[in-house]
Structure 1
């Protein structure tokens, strides 16, 4: 899921480690969130929302475009 966590974190001058400490998670979790490899649990999403003063829906974009499907070739 696309999100704005990296830009929000950088805007506050925080490292991934510092953000992880404030959230009570590992730095690897913050990295996985920022790269879209991990979707946060609801409690973690609420922590992020409170920390950055942003509504959850403003930080996360659940709509992901469908991958392009090649046109089937008929023989």
Structure 2
């Protein structure tokens, strides 16, 4: 496979995973980052990176997720 094709498909996979994580968070707003990480079998750090990357993919979805995570942080 050509390098550019690999990078394109890899980028598509990352974007899809970011959207899936964000939608899961919106469907389960009381669950935290650890729960998302467990559901997707990735680390908490990766969840944070993916949700931050969401800013470049879907700004509206990013803002909704950011607000949920801020509520979590304030409730600690």
Q: In which range does the TM-score fall when normalised by the shorter chain?
A: 0.3 to 0.5
The structure carrying a bigger strand percent of its residues is 1
TM-score after normalising by structure 1: 0.37
The structure carrying a bigger helix percent of its residues is 2
Q: Larger RCO: Structure 1 or Structure 2 (Cα < 8 Å, ≥ 6 residues apart)?
A: 1
